[in-house]
Amino acid sequence: MIFPAADRVLAGLGRTYVRLLMAVVDGCVRFSRVVLLFFLVALVASVYYVVGHFAINTDTSDALSRDLPFQQREAAYKKAFPQDRDSIVVVLQGQNRSTTDGAVDRLQAWLRSHPETFPQVYVPGGGSFFQRNGLLYLPTAKVEEFAKRITDAQPLIARLSADPGIGGLSKLLTEAIDHELSGGSSLSGLTKVYDALNDAIVANLQNKPYTVSWAELMGGSLNDLGPRKRFVVVEPRMNYHALEPAAAAIQRLQAGLKSLHLDPEHGVQVGITGSAVLDAEQLQTVSHGAAYSLILTLILEILLVSIALRSARLVTAVFVSLISGIAFTTAWALFFIGPFNLISVAFAILFVGLGVDFGIQLCMRYREELFNGAPHREAMERVTRGIGGALTLAAVAAALSFFAFVPTTYAGIVDLGLVSGASMLIALILTLTMVPAILTVWPISSQSLRRVTYPHFQKVPTLARHPIHRYAYWVLTGVALLALAAIPAALRVSFDFNPLHMIDQKAEGVRVFESLLADPDTAPYRIEVLRPNIASAVETARQLDKLPTVARTVTIDSYIPKDQQAKLAILQNLQILVPPFSLLMPATLTPPDDSKSLADLQKLQGKLQELIARRTAVSAGSA
C-alpha cells in the first residue's frame, strides 16, 4: 500500500506543477509585451552591471580553498613579504658583464624616473650596499686572488688612469711590445687585451655593438662567479578595474626597453616574466581561447538549430533567450560569487551547449503543434502540458550535476558548479517565459509550416528500415572491443599539475620562466618557510639540507658574510698598495686629439706587425 500511495502523491504533485507551468506560459502569451519589456529592462541592467564589475581572478592559488593549511601559510608569507606579489622580472644578459651591468643601470634609472607606473624597483645584487660590501661574500681564497690581480695590475691601472684614452692605451701596448722586441719577457696577459680590441674594431666596422669588458680582462676566474644573467624586479601599478590589471605597466615597460635600445640588435638579450606577466598571459590565453570556443560553438549551434527548426523566427527566439541567459548568469555570478576564475569562466561554453537544448525542444514541439493545426495559444498550452515537466526534470538534473562540485575544497571547481548549475535554472525560466513571449509578438510565418521533404534522404538507410535491435549482438560486441582497446590508453592517463601549461607556451613570460628554470642558479621554484627567529630558521635549514630532494637552503643568516675580519684585512692592505681609482684619475680630462690618437694607433699597428714577423721567424727556425 505504501508505493501506490506514494505514486498517487507524486502524480498529484506532478499535475499541480504542470498546471502551474501552463498558467505561467499562458500568462506570458497573454501579456507578452509586458514580459518582453521586463526582460529588456533586466537585460540592460545586467549588461550594465557586468560591464562595470566584470573581473577574472588569475591567481592560480585562489583556485583552492583558502582554508587549506598551505594556503594559510602562503597568505602569512605574502603578508610578511608583500613586495613579492604582482611583480615583473626583467632578465638581461649582454655580450659580457660590462654590457649587462650597463644595461641594468640604464633600465633601473629609467624605471625610477616613472614612479607613477613602477612604484618599486629592486635590483638583486645591485645598489650601493653590494658596491661597498660585495667582495665580502666571496670565499677568503677568492678575495686573496682578487687582491693579487689588482696588485699585479697596479702599474697598468696607474698608466691608464693618467691617460684614459685610446692614445694612452696604444702607448702602453706599444711599450709592452718594445719590451719583448728588445729581448724582454713576453707579457702573455696582454693577449686577451689584443683580442678584445680586435673584436671591438671588427664589430664597429660591421656596425654591431660591442663593449670591451675590463672586468673580464682583469677579473680572471672571479669573472665566472655567479649567473651571467642580471635581474630587475619591478612592482607595477595595477589597475584592478581593467580586465588585465598589469597590461598598461607591461606595455609601458616594453616601450621603455625599446627606447633604451635594450634588444639583441644592440647586444643585449632581454626577457620579461614574473607573476604579473604570467597572470596577464594567462588572461590572454583564457580570453582568446574562450572567445574562439564560444564563437565556434555558437556558429555550430546556429547551423544545427537552423536545420532542425527551419524558421528564422524560431531560431531568433532560441538565441535571444540563449544570449540573455549568458548575460543574466554572468551578472548573477558577479553579484553573489564575485570575480570569475580561470575555471568558472568556462560556464559560457557549457551554457551554449546545454542551455540551447531546452529552447530547441520547446520550439520543435511548438512547430509540430502548429503543423497539426492548433492556434498559437493552444499550441503553447499543448507544448507546456506535453514537455514542461520533462524540460524541468532535465534542467534540474543538469543543475544538480553541476552543484555536485560544490562540496570540494577546489574553489575553482566550486565556482564553476555554482555558476553552471544556476545557469541551467535560468535557461529553463527563459525558455518557459521569454521564448513564448517572443513567439507571440513575432509569430511564426505560414511559410515555415509547409511540409519539407528531402528526396535524397530516401537513399539513406534509416533506423526505420534497419532497426538497431536486429544487430544488437554485433553492436554490443563492437562496443566491448572498443572498451577493451581503450584500457591501455586509460592506464597511461596522468595529471599535469603544472599551471604554466595552462598558458600559451609561445608567450614570452612562459619562455623566459622556462629558461630560468633550466638553470640551477636562476630556478624560480622554491619553498619558503617562515620561522620566528634566526636561530630557529638556521636549525630548520640544517634539517632540510639533509634531505636528498633539497638542493640548498638559504636563510637571512646566509646574507651575513663569513670571516669578515680576515677579508677586511686583505682589502685594507690592498687599499694601501692601490689607492682608490678616483685618486688616480686626473682632476680634469682633456678631450683626446684625434690626429695624435690616430698616430699612436698606427705606431701600435707597426709594432704588432713587427712582433708577428719576429714570432713567425722564431717558429720557423725552431721547426
DSSP 463: T
| Full set of structural domains in the chain with CATH | 20-80+303-451 (1.20.1640.10), 88-134+225-273 (3.30.70)
Higher-pLDDT residue of 266 and 324 is: 324
Torsional sign, CA 473, 476, 478, 480: negative
What are the start-end ranges of the H helices in 310-441? 312-336, 347-371, 376-403, 411-441
State residue 218's pLDDT score: 63
Return phi, psi of residue 270, to 5°. -130, 135
One-letter amino acid at 462 equals T
Which set of grid coordinates corresponds to residue 363? Answer: 520550439
Q: Which long-range contacts (CB under 8 A, 24 or more apart) does 394-398 make?
A: 394/357, 394/358, 395/358, 395/424, 395/425, 395/427, 395/428, 396/424, 396/425, 398/354, 398/424
Banded model confidence at residue 378, pLDDT cuts 50, 70, 90: very high
Per-residue pLDDT reduced to its tens digit, 178-200: 777 776 666 555 677 777 777 77
Distance (Å, rounded) from C-alpha 560 to C-alpha 57?
39
- Residue 239's contacts (CB-CB under 8 Å, 6 or more residues apart) are 245, 246, 247, 248
Higher-pLDDT residue of 222 and 44 is: 44
Q: Which of 108, 148, 142 is nearest to 125 (CA)?
A: 108
Banded model confidence at residue 600, pLDDT cuts 50, 70, 90: confident
Is residue 36's pLDDT more than 80?
yes
State residue 463's pLDDT score: 55
Distance from first CA to last CA of the chain, Å, rounded? 119
State residue 478's pLDDT score: 93
Which set of grid coordinates corresponds to residue 327? Answer: 548575460
Per-residue pLDDT reduced to its tens digit, 143-164: 888 888 777 777 777 777 767 7
**For residues 72 and 84, is the Cβ–Cβ distance under 8 A?**
no
State residue 439's pLDDT score: 93
Proportion of the chain above pLDDT 90, given as a percent: 31
Kindly report the pTM of this predicted structure.
Answer: 0.71
Is residue 465's pLDDT more than 80?
no
One-letter amino acid at 11 equals A
Which set of grid coordinates corresponds to residue 451? Answer: 511540409
Per-residue pLDDT reduced to its tens digit, 530-586: 888 889 999 999 999 999 988 889 898 888 888 999 999 988 888 777 766 555 555
Per-residue pLDDT reduced to its tens digit, 439-450: 999 888 655 555
Classify each residue of 452-471 as buried b or exposed e, where b means 16 or more C-beta atoms within 10 Å of its C-beta: eeeeeeeeeeeeeeeeeeee
State residue 458's pLDDT score: 57
Proportion of the chain above pLDDT 70, given as a percent: 87
Higher-pLDDT residue of 8 and 563 is: 563
Instruction: Give how far the C-alpha of residue 394 lies from the chain's centroid of Cα atoms, to the nearest Å.
Output: 38
Report, as an integer, the average pLDDT of 473-500: 89
Which set of grid coordinates corresponds to residue 246? Answer: 598589469
Return phi, psi of residue 56, to 5°. -125, 125
Is residue 587's pLDDT more than 60?
no
- Residue 357's contacts (CB-CB under 8 Å, 6 or more residues apart) are 394
Q: Which of 97, 95, 93, 92 is nearest to 220 (CA)?
A: 97
Q: How many CA atoms does the CB half-sphere of 411 hold within 13 Å?
A: 19
State residue 13's pLDDT score: 85
Is residue 456's pLDDT more than 80?
no
Instruction: Give how far the C-alpha of residue 620 lies from the chain's centroid of Cα atoms, to the nearest Å.
Output: 63
State residue 524's pLDDT score: 79
Per-residue pLDDT reduced to its tens digit, 304-318: 888 878 788 899 999
State residue 219's pLDDT score: 60
Q: Which of 433, 321, 318, 397 is nearest to 22 (CA)?
A: 433
Return phi, psi of residue 556, to 5°. -65, -25
Distance (Å, rounded) from C-alpha 431 to C-alpha 317?
9
Per-residue pLDDT reduced to its tens digit, 420-434: 999 999 999 999 999
Higher-pLDDT residue of 191 and 207 is: 207
Is residue 91's pLDDT more than 90?
yes
The CA distances from residue 569 to 149, 353, 565, 566, in Å, are: 16, 76, 6, 5
**For residues 531 and 523, is the Cβ–Cβ distance under 8 A?**
no
Report, as an integer, the average pLDDT of 295-302: 83
Banded model confidence at residue 229, pLDDT cuts 50, 70, 90: confident
- Residue 417's contacts (CB-CB under 8 Å, 6 or more residues apart) are 402, 403, 404, 405, 406
Banded model confidence at residue 505, pLDDT cuts 50, 70, 90: confident
Compute the mean pLDDT over every residue in the chain, rounded to the nearest whole number: 83
Is residue 331's pLDDT more than 60?
yes
**For residues 518 and 67, is the Cβ–Cβ distance under 8 A?**
no
Banded model confidence at residue 242, pLDDT cuts 50, 70, 90: low
Higher-pLDDT residue of 227 and 285 is: 285
State residue 446's pLDDT score: 59
Q: Which long-range contacts (CB under 8 A, 24 or more apart) does 124-133 make?
A: 124/231, 124/233, 125/226, 125/230, 126/230, 133/561
Other CB atoms within a 10 A radius of the CB of residue 574 amount to: 18
State residue 24's pLDDT score: 94
**For residues 340 and 55, is the Cβ–Cβ distance under 8 A?**
yes
Report, as an integer, the average pLDDT of 257-273: 91
